[in-house]
Amino acid sequence: MKPAPFDYVRPRSLPEATALLSDESANAKIFAGGQSLGPMLNLRLARPAKLVDIRNIQALRAVRVDEKSYSIGATLTHAEIEDGAFEDFSQGLLPFVARGIAYRAVRNRGTVGGSLSHADPAADWVSTMAAIGATMVVHGPAGERRVPAEQFLVGAFTSKLGATELLTAIELPRLSATARWGYYKVCRKTGEFAKAIGVTIQDPRAGIFRVLAGSTEGRPVLLARSGETLATQGADRAAGVARQEIEEVLPHLEPGHRQQLAVAVQRSLQKISLLETV
């Protein structure tokens, strides 16, 4: 199939893009990498009246750094993160996650902001940004606002982005040199979206102890009790707590899905445990 007819616009600045989106009745869609929107257009699952191509806006590719945090522009591609286009302040987590997204052809064009805005619960960046405690920087006609990554998804394919807003950047804490992380996803084959994702981040110097279950059919879930156990009793003990906590906080999921989530989370904690013994 081919897309339904639409107007195509390429703004050169963020104010110009915002102005194009400001009329909610215009039914405009943002286009960046197009790895999700392109197929939806061809299948006519999306029928925007106007396509706003933001790839030429340099402000959306900026990387800004201070002593405690850094921000990355929303139109940076997965491949650029994988290849180290900017200094890695995540102690290897972001490049590792980027390397596992789909295939290189997809990573060459797909963008971190596009993936987050698409709001697929099974997407790697959705869980990663929530686990690390990132903040989504959202821009619209009313100005700029910030949304914690763990609250960004409302549900499957639904985010807190308004119809006239766009995601411009992601702000992340800088992990210290002593930080440890574990990332594991359950997939039937390479390049497929995850059935379950587990992410663990431990950084005593920064006071970060977070355990997350992702690809839950909705918003990723921070396992608060597991994180507290990680901080006080270590990764091995937290792994046992995580299985029980998943059963308690996600009772609506199928038992098989909860089992996959438990495996993913426990494998992510296992990596932390192995690093602790080195």
User: What domains lie within the chain, and their CATH numbers?
Assistant: 60-173 (3.30.465.10), 180-277 (3.30.390.50)
Report how far residue 70's alpha carbon sits from residue 52's, in angstroms, rounded to the nearest whole number.
27
CA distances from 125 to 77, 111, 150, 199, 204 (A): 12, 10, 11, 11, 23
User: Could you give phi then psi for residue 182, rounded to 5 degrees?
Assistant: -135, 135
The amino acid sitting at 75 is T
Given a contact cutoff of 8 angstroms between Cβ atoms, the answer to whether 187 and 94 are in contact is no
In whole angstroms, how large is the CA radius of gyration of the chain?
A: 19
Question: Roughly what angle, to the nearest 10 degrees, separates helices 224-233 and 235-249?
Answer: 170
User: For every one of its 278 residues, what pLDDT tens digit does the chain have, with 9 covering 90 and above?
Assistant: 688 888 999 999 999 999 999 887 788 889 898 888 888 888 888 898 899 999 999 999 999 999 899 999 999 999 999 999 999 999 999 999 999 999 999 999 999 999 999 999 999 999 999 999 999 999 999 999 999 999 999 999 999 999 899 999 999 999 999 999 999 999 988 777 899 999 999 999 999 999 999 999 999 999 999 999 999 999 999 999 999 999 999 999 999 999 999 999 999 999 998 876 54
Q: The pTM is what?
A: 0.94
The single residue listed with the structure tokens 């006071």 is 207
CA distances from 223 to 13, 173, 213, 276 (A): 40, 19, 7, 21
Given a contact cutoff of 8 angstroms between Cβ atoms, the answer to whether 79 and 36 are in contact is no
Report how far residue 55's alpha carbon sits from residue 62's, in angstroms, rounded to the nearest whole number.
12
Which residues lie below 8 Å from residue 5, measured CB to CB, with a gap of 6+? none
Question: Roughly what angle, to the nearest 10 degrees, separates helices 255-277 and 235-249?
Answer: 160
Res 184: pLDDT: 97
